[in-house]
């Protein structure tokens, strides 16, 4: 098969964009005139291959779906616009997009990664990528000086989450990007923007080179698509990553592209409501006698609240609390919830609760978890779109069941 670079025109949505986020998310890339039938809603093009009138002449613009697909193009154009990026690529999962970035590296390269990172990213870097001769230093990136100190002559990538999963620590994206680029301008800074979504934070505007998303979470928002995305402004980076996407093949299916594109249409309204409910939950828990401590970047008690106010347009829908007691209390609390569901994942319309030490971050060693502060009483809440009063009533009854008066 021919080399892919000439086979499609990349998204250049920001050059013709709309001034406000909600309008971008609804209209970018969606022009009905691109379809002969002028459909308002993008068509799902399930075809894996496309007719050529003459060998290697693509009159319809597409060759083979791994290299490009009309439904994927609509969605990627919209994604790029949402992230204030020139280009976007979509993948079959968040980790597949992570893998595609790593596939631009070579044996002997070095990565700096924030120590509090999604357990799956940690596992991939330290237990899979490490076998390929690529080393990773896990450092506390909430202080950009630690990033500067960890950079080596062979460092090619800095990977951060902000807020981090699960402790909701913030990285100063601009300070981290400046530290990395002043050490070596060719270092690629990736920000995993999953927790904030494109609605609340635009890391490319702050100096990051690539924004990564687990689309599975807020961006799709309905718990029915596994997906990942990479957004960037550099054509050179886009070409490299597009080549990897085509060569490796971890692309998003046309149907999932259609679904995630639909999810983006309501991102703005969903995120506002997620945040409203998250504030209510965080304030309720912070005032609760059965709760030891609450972490939510929107609360003044968050140690980086000032950075949270400066860096993004909001604080998101994730809340962490440490309940009083131990593992027994956490288990009883989680299994007593009736509106929140005990499950992994986050960012959907339904409220979820989980225990990172035994679930999403169980692949990290006990020693590392202890060092990071991921204890057995750390409960992670993904606050959904249910009625606020029902959420608070649910938390109240579960806390009462789980934490006895003797522990107050």
**Residue of minimal Cβ distance to ligand P1T:** 94
Residue from 226, 307, 308, 378 in contact with ligand P1T (CB under 6 A): 226
Residue 192 interacting with ligand P1T (CB under 6 A):
yes
Peptide bond between residue 163 and the one before it cis (omega within 30 degrees of 0): yes
111 vs 183 by CB, closer to ligand P1T = 111
CB of 382 to ligand P1T, least distance (A): 8
Residue 165 interacting with ligand P1T (CB under 6 A):
yes
Taking contact as CB under 6 A, which single stretch among the options 45-53, 280-288, 307-315, 340-348 is the one that binds ligand P1T? 340-348
Residue 345 interacting with ligand P1T (CB under 6 A):
yes
Q: What secondary structure, in 3-state letters, does 45-105 show?
A: CCCCECCCCECCECCCCCCECCCCCHHHHHHHHHHHHHCCCCEEEEECCHHHHHHHHHCCC
CB of 62 to ligand P1T, least distance (A): 26
What do you get for the CA distance between the two ends of the chain, in Å?
68
Distance between CA 333 and CA 385 in Å, rounded? 21
Residue from 100, 233, 357, 360 in contact with ligand P1T (CB under 6 A): 360
Q: Strands, E, within 216-256: which ranges?
A: 228-232
Residue from 68, 120, 263, 297 in contact with ligand P1T (CB under 6 A): 120
Distance between CA 99 and CA 113 in Å, rounded? 14
Residue from 45, 69, 71, 121 in contact with ligand P1T (CB under 6 A): 121
71 vs 194 by CB, closer to ligand P1T = 194
CB of 330 to ligand P1T, least distance (A): 16
- Report residue 168 as tokens: 């909701």
Partners of 209 in the β-ladder: none
24 vs 92 by CB, closer to ligand P1T = 92
Residue 161 interacting with ligand P1T (CB under 6 A):
yes
Residue 316 interacting with ligand P1T (CB under 6 A):
no
Q: Are 216 and 345 in contact, with CB atoms under 8 Å apart?
A: yes
Residue 223 interacting with ligand P1T (CB under 6 A):
no
Taking contact as CB under 6 A, which single stretch among the options 13-21, 118-126, 242-250, 302-310 is the one that binds ligand P1T? 118-126
Residue 194 interacting with ligand P1T (CB under 6 A):
yes
- Catalytically active residues are 66, 118, 192, 217
- Look at residues 196, 198, 180 and name the one whose alpha carbon lies nearest to residue 188: 180
Q: Are 303 and 350 in contact, with CB atoms under 8 Å apart?
A: no
Residue 118 interacting with ligand P1T (CB under 6 A):
yes
For strand 228-232 and strand 87-91, is the pairing parallel, antiparallel, or unpaired? antiparallel
Residue from 69, 197, 216, 261 in contact with ligand P1T (CB under 6 A): 216
Taking each helix axis as running N to C, give the angle between helix 267-286 and helix 388-402, from 0 to 180 degrees, rounded to the nearest 10: 40
Q: Strands, E, within 124-259: which ranges?
A: 135-139, 155-161, 188-192, 210-214, 228-232
CB of 379 to ligand P1T, least distance (A): 13
Distance between CA 109 and CA 155 in Å, rounded? 6
Residue 93 interacting with ligand P1T (CB under 6 A):
yes
CB of 313 to ligand P1T, least distance (A): 19
- Look at residues 124, 116, 97, 219 and name the one whose alpha carbon lies nearest to residue 168: 116
CB of 9 to ligand P1T, least distance (A): 27
Distance between CA 120 and CA 132 in Å, rounded? 17
Residue from 10, 29, 70, 94 in contact with ligand P1T (CB under 6 A): 94
Between the alpha carbon of residue 126 and those of residues 123, 168, 277, the distances in Å are 5, 21, 36
CB of 347 to ligand P1T, least distance (A): 8
Residue 256 interacting with ligand P1T (CB under 6 A):
no
Q: How many CB atoms lie within 10 A of CB 185?
A: 7
42 vs 228 by CB, closer to ligand P1T = 228
Distance between CA 158 and CA 177 in Å, rounded? 8
CB of 166 to ligand P1T, least distance (A): 7
Size of the site for ligand P1T (CB under 6 A): 18
30 vs 253 by CB, closer to ligand P1T = 253
Residues within the interface to ligand P1T (CB under 6 A)? 93-95, 118, 120-121, 161, 165, 192, 194, 214, 216, 226, 228, 344-346, 360
């Amino acid at each position: 098969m021919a080399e892919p670079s000439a086979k499609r025109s990349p998204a250049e949505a920001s050059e013709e964009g709309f001034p406000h986020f909600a309008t971008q998310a609804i209209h970018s890339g969606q022009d009905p005139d691109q379809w002969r039938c002028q459909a308002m809603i993008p068509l799902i093009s399930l075809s894996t291959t496309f007719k050529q009138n003459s060998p290697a002449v693509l009159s319809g613009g597409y060759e083979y779906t791994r290299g490009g697909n009309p439904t994927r193009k609509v969605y990627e154009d919209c994604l790029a616009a949402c992230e204030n990026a020139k280009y976007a690529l979509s993948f079959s999962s968040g980790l597949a997009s992570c893998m595609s970035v790593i596939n631009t590296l070579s044996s002997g390269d070095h990565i700096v990664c924030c120590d509090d990172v999604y357990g799956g990213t940690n596992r991939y870097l330290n237990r899979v990528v490490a076998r390929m001769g690529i080393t990773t230093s896990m450092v506390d990136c909430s202080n950009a000086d630690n990033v500067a100190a960890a950079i080596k002559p062979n460092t090619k990538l800095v990977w951060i989450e902000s807020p981090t999963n699960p402790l909701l620590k913030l990285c100063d994206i601009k300070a981290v990007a400046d530290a990395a680029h002043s050490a070596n301008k060719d270092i690629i800074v990736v920000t995993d923007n999953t927790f904030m979504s494109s609605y609340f934070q635009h890391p490319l505007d702050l100096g990051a080179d690539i924004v990564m998303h687990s689309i599975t979470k807020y961006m799709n928002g309905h718990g029915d698509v596994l997906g990942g995305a990479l957004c960037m402004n550099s054509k050179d980076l886009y070409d490299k990553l597009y080549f990897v996407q085509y060569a490796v093949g971890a692309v998003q299916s046309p149907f999932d592209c259609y679904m995630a594109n639909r999810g983006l249409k309501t991102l703005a309204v969903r995120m506002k409501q997620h945040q409203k409910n998250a504030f209510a939950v965080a304030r309720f828990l912070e005032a609760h006698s059965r709760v030891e401590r609450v972490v939510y970047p929107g609360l003044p008690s968050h140690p980086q609240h000032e950075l949270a106010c400066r860096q993004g347009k909001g604080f998101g829908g994730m809340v962490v609390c440490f309940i009083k007691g131990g593992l027994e209390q956490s288990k009883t609390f989680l299994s007593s919830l009736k509106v929140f569901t005990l499950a992994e994942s986050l960012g959907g319309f339904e409220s979820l609760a989980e225990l990172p030490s035994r679930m999403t971050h169980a692949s990290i060693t006990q020693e590392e978890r202890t060092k990071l502060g991921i204890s057995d009483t750390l409960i992670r809440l993904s606050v959904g779109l249910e009625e606020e009063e029902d959420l608070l009533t649910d938390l109240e009854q579960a806390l009462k069941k789980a934490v006895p008066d003797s522990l107050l």
